[in-house]
Amino acid sequence: MPDGLPQQPQSGLGKAVRSLREEANVDQATLAARAGLPPSLIGEIESGRSDPTWGDIRRVAEALDVTLETLSELAEEYEAEKG
Protein backbone atom coordinates (compact mmCIF):
# COMPACT_ATOMS: atom_id res chain seq x y z
CA MET A 1 0.00 0.00 0.00
CA PRO A 2 1.45 3.39 -0.91
CA ASP A 3 2.32 5.63 2.02
CA GLY A 4 -0.50 7.85 3.19
CA LEU A 5 -3.19 6.28 1.04
CA PRO A 6 -5.84 4.23 2.84
CA GLN A 7 -6.99 1.02 1.21
CA GLN A 8 -10.45 1.33 -0.28
CA PRO A 9 -12.73 -1.70 -0.24
CA GLN A 10 -14.05 -2.56 -3.66
CA SER A 11 -17.82 -2.52 -3.84
CA GLY A 12 -17.63 -4.14 -7.29
CA LEU A 13 -15.86 -7.13 -5.79
CA GLY A 14 -18.58 -7.45 -3.17
CA LYS A 15 -21.32 -7.31 -5.79
CA ALA A 16 -19.49 -9.87 -7.91
CA VAL A 17 -19.10 -12.30 -5.00
CA ARG A 18 -22.76 -11.88 -4.02
CA SER A 19 -23.93 -12.35 -7.61
CA LEU A 20 -21.87 -15.49 -8.17
CA ARG A 21 -22.87 -16.88 -4.77
CA GLU A 22 -26.56 -16.36 -5.49
CA GLU A 23 -26.11 -17.85 -8.97
CA ALA A 24 -24.57 -20.91 -7.29
CA ASN A 25 -27.57 -20.99 -4.94
CA VAL A 26 -25.50 -21.06 -1.73
CA ASP A 27 -25.73 -18.92 1.38
CA GLN A 28 -22.86 -16.99 2.95
CA ALA A 29 -22.22 -19.66 5.58
CA THR A 30 -21.92 -22.39 2.95
CA LEU A 31 -19.59 -20.30 0.82
CA ALA A 32 -17.48 -19.50 3.88
CA ALA A 33 -17.23 -23.18 4.79
CA ARG A 34 -16.21 -24.12 1.24
CA ALA A 35 -13.59 -21.37 1.20
CA GLY A 36 -12.33 -22.10 4.73
CA LEU A 37 -13.09 -18.52 5.80
CA PRO A 38 -15.20 -17.02 8.59
CA PRO A 39 -18.80 -16.32 7.52
CA SER A 40 -18.41 -12.77 8.83
CA LEU A 41 -15.64 -12.16 6.25
CA ILE A 42 -17.93 -13.19 3.39
CA GLY A 43 -20.52 -10.72 4.66
CA GLU A 44 -17.92 -7.97 4.95
CA ILE A 45 -16.64 -8.63 1.42
CA GLU A 46 -20.14 -8.61 -0.04
CA SER A 47 -21.08 -5.40 1.76
CA GLY A 48 -17.89 -3.67 0.65
CA ARG A 49 -16.64 -3.23 4.23
CA SER A 50 -13.60 -5.45 3.72
CA ASP A 51 -10.62 -5.32 1.38
CA PRO A 52 -9.70 -9.02 1.36
CA THR A 53 -6.26 -10.45 0.70
CA TRP A 54 -5.50 -12.08 -2.64
CA GLY A 55 -5.37 -15.41 -0.86
CA ASP A 56 -8.89 -14.93 0.46
CA ILE A 57 -10.13 -13.83 -2.96
CA ARG A 58 -8.55 -16.92 -4.51
CA ARG A 59 -10.25 -19.15 -1.94
CA VAL A 60 -13.63 -17.50 -2.59
CA ALA A 61 -13.23 -17.93 -6.36
CA GLU A 62 -12.34 -21.60 -5.93
CA ALA A 63 -15.31 -22.11 -3.59
CA LEU A 64 -17.56 -20.53 -6.23
CA ASP A 65 -15.97 -22.74 -8.91
CA VAL A 66 -14.87 -19.76 -11.01
CA THR A 67 -11.47 -18.49 -12.04
CA LEU A 68 -9.88 -15.41 -10.52
CA GLU A 69 -10.15 -13.89 -13.98
CA THR A 70 -13.92 -14.43 -14.08
CA LEU A 71 -14.37 -12.94 -10.61
CA SER A 72 -12.10 -10.01 -11.46
CA GLU A 73 -13.86 -9.25 -14.74
CA LEU A 74 -17.27 -9.25 -13.08
CA ALA A 75 -15.98 -7.04 -10.27
CA GLU A 76 -14.59 -4.59 -12.85
CA GLU A 77 -17.95 -4.50 -14.63
CA TYR A 78 -19.70 -3.60 -11.37
CA GLU A 79 -17.04 -0.98 -10.56
CA ALA A 80 -17.51 0.60 -14.00
CA GLU A 81 -21.28 0.83 -13.42
CA LYS A 82 -20.59 3.00 -10.33
CA GLY A 83 -18.63 5.60 -12.20
The residue range of the domain holding 51 is 11-82
Residue 57 in domain: yes
Whole-Å CA distances, 24 to 14, 18, 47, 53 = 15, 10, 18, 23
Residue 31 domain flag: yes
Q: What is the SS3 assignment for 11? A: helix
Of the candidates 58, 63, 68, the residue with the CA atom closest to the CA atom of residue 24: 63
In a domain, 2, yes or no: no
The answer as to whether 15 is a domain residue is yes
CATH number for the domain spanning 47: value is: 1.10.260.40
Phi-psi category of residue 25: left, alpha or beta, with phi > 0 → left and psi -120 to 50 → alpha: left
Name the packing angle between helices 11-23 and 68-82 (round to 10°).
Answer: 120
> Per residue in 43-82, pLDDT tens?
999 999 988 999 999 999 999 999 999 999 999 999 998 7
58 falls within a domain = yes
pLDDT band at 8 (very low <50, low <70, confident <90, very high): low
| Structural domain contains residue 1 | no
| Overall domain count for the chain | 1
* pLDDT given for residue 10 in this prediction: 76
Is residue 19 domain-resident? yes
